Amino acid sequence: MKINLVIKNIAYSFGANLISLGISVFMVAFVPKFLSVDDYGLWQLFLFYFSYLGFLHFGWEDGIYLRYAGKRFEELDQKTFAGQFYGVTVLQILLAVAVTIGSQVFVDDSVKRIALDCAAWLAPFVNFTNLCNFVMQITNRIKDYAKFLLTERIVFFLGVVFFLLILHRNEFRYMYYAKLFSMISLTLIGIYLCRNLLRPHFYPIGKIFREVKENLTVGSKLMLANIAGMLIIGIVRYGISMGWDVATFGRVSLTLGISNFLMVFITSVSVVFFPIIKRMDEDKRAAAYRTIRLSLDVVLFAALIGYYPLKCILAWWLPQYADSLIYMSVLFPVCVFDSKLSLLINTYLKSMRQEALMLKINVVSVLVSLIVTFITVQLFHNLNLTVLSIVGIYAFQCCLAECFINYLLKMNLRKDILIDLVMCGVFTASGWFLDNIFGMIIYAGFYLVFVLAHHNRVKNTFAIIRGK
């Protein structure tokens, strides 16, 4: 692939994620300003359920992604893909009906039932458009992928502005209408972009099911690893939703959402790193790992300093959430561990075809999450401990995964892991126990010591990045 095309593709992906980040900042900063605390909590609960809809294909779409990656759009067999597109859609409709019936029987809380039902009926739109999105990626139509990514965010943003700011309809249902309209718009665009694969001409039903079976076999392992990864935080959030009211869930979700802003950039960059590491000579991978890791440390630890002024701004802008903003000092370090997992560790594991190992690491982390959530919610019923457990679980997962990287690449990362834990511990303690200005001074001092201690390595790393 030509370098100019690679740069353009990176620019499209990064630009789309940057605009998406701007919209996310607006959503976090303005939506809780206009919705009541209860309505915002219901909205966050809906988003929580919505985040899992992408797994209702059970690895079907992941298998398509893995098996057909690198094909040109013209090379995709129309009859094969038509069967998969229509099959996925029918499955999602059946699952939406099943969830709606199940919620009536098993969910007693009417508010939680509303959030679940509203999310379930978006499943057909979500997984149809996800498959369209995968088709754009595997056929290297990155420009179309970027447009596709932006469409839902922009239409949703305009819908929220229309309902909240123009019509002053400050209720959950109008937020849902905006989301529904954005998903319908995205579906129509997906139909247009993939129209050549959607003509209702199919192979015999037996061949369609054989294709489905193969896709499920290939994709299920990767999907299970992804589900387990999401469940790590999902279990804790679900524990909070069950142990406390919807308003409390909304407050914690707000601070968690703010803490995760940086992940938008990490996601866009990780798409670029995977093929580079995949093609890299094995004897160079260890050195590259250390270089990338140190670069991440310098950037991520510096980004944590932004917590202190951000907390002051948010306390002024959202006074009704001022008490819960202290949780940001606990949840910001999540970005450090999650970024390393997403951008570096998982990318290396996938490049070395260690999907099974990824699954095992995530399953162990899920079990830890279950145990810790039970203790903090059921036994102690302590919200502070529950929120603190989030970063503890992420730290455990990251350290466990890096221990395997340590073994696979024959490196010694114990000192680096310890430094990560100390820096995040200092940040959390200073943000929790000290006033803003004193906490900032202490953490900035530790960061300065970190940079000076690694001065030569930092200098060499940035020289490598600049190509000197």
Percent of the chain clearing pLDDT 70 (strictly above): 85
Residue-level pLDDT at 238:
80
Where is average pLDDT lowest: 12-16, 119-123, 207-211? Answer: 12-16
DSSP assignment of 352-410: TT-HHHHHHHHHHHHHHHHHHHIIIIIIS--HHHHHHHHHHHHHHHHHHHHHHHHHHTT
The most confident of 74-83, 237-246, 347-356, by mean pLDDT: 74-83
Average pLDDT over residues 233-238: 81
Residues 413-425: tens digit of each pLDDT: 888 899 999 999 9
Residue 465 has pLDDT above 60, yes or no: no
| pTM check: above 0.75 | no
Residues 26-80: tens digit of each pLDDT: 777 778 878 888 888 888 888 888 988 888 888 888 888 777 866 788 888 888 8
Residues 166-210: tens digit of each pLDDT: 888 888 889 899 999 999 999 999 999 888 888 888 888 888 888
**Which residues, 6 or more positions from 272, have their beta carbon under 8 angstroms from its beta carbon?**
10, 13
Phi, psi of 396, rounded to the nearest 5 degrees? -60, -45
Residue 445 has pLDDT above 90, yes or no: yes
Residue-level pLDDT at 437:
85
Average pLDDT over residues 98-125: 88
Residue-level pLDDT at 299:
79
Residue-level pLDDT at 123:
92
User: The tokens of 278 are what?
Assistant: 């995949």
pLDDT averaged over every residue in the chain: 81
User: Which residue shows structure tokens 């754009």?
Assistant: 136
**266, 300 in Cβ contact below 8 A?**
no
Average pLDDT over residues 344-373: 83
Count of CA atoms in the C-beta half-sphere (13 A) of 257? 26
Residue-level pLDDT at 265:
58
Residue-level pLDDT at 306:
81
Residue-level pLDDT at 464:
54
Phi, psi of 105, rounded to the nearest 5 degrees? -90, -40
Residues 35-45: tens digit of each pLDDT: 888 888 888 88
**334, 260 in Cβ contact below 8 A?**
yes
**320, 312 in Cβ contact below 8 A?**
no
Residue-level pLDDT at 9:
60
Q: Give the CA-trace dihedral at 281, 287, 293, 297, to 10 degrees.
A: -150
Q: How far is CA 382 from CA 211, 240, 372, 390, in A?
A: 49, 10, 12, 13
The most confident of 91-105, 133-147, 324-338, by mean pLDDT: 91-105
The Cα–Cα gap between 90 and 112 comes to 26
User: The tokens of 274 are what?
Assistant: 């995977």
Average pLDDT over residues 127-151: 81
Average pLDDT over residues 247-271: 65
Using pLDDT thresholds of 50, 70 and 90, give the confidence band for residue 153.
confident
Residue-level pLDDT at 7:
57
Residue 350 has pLDDT above 50, yes or no: yes
**277, 348 in Cβ contact below 8 A?**
yes
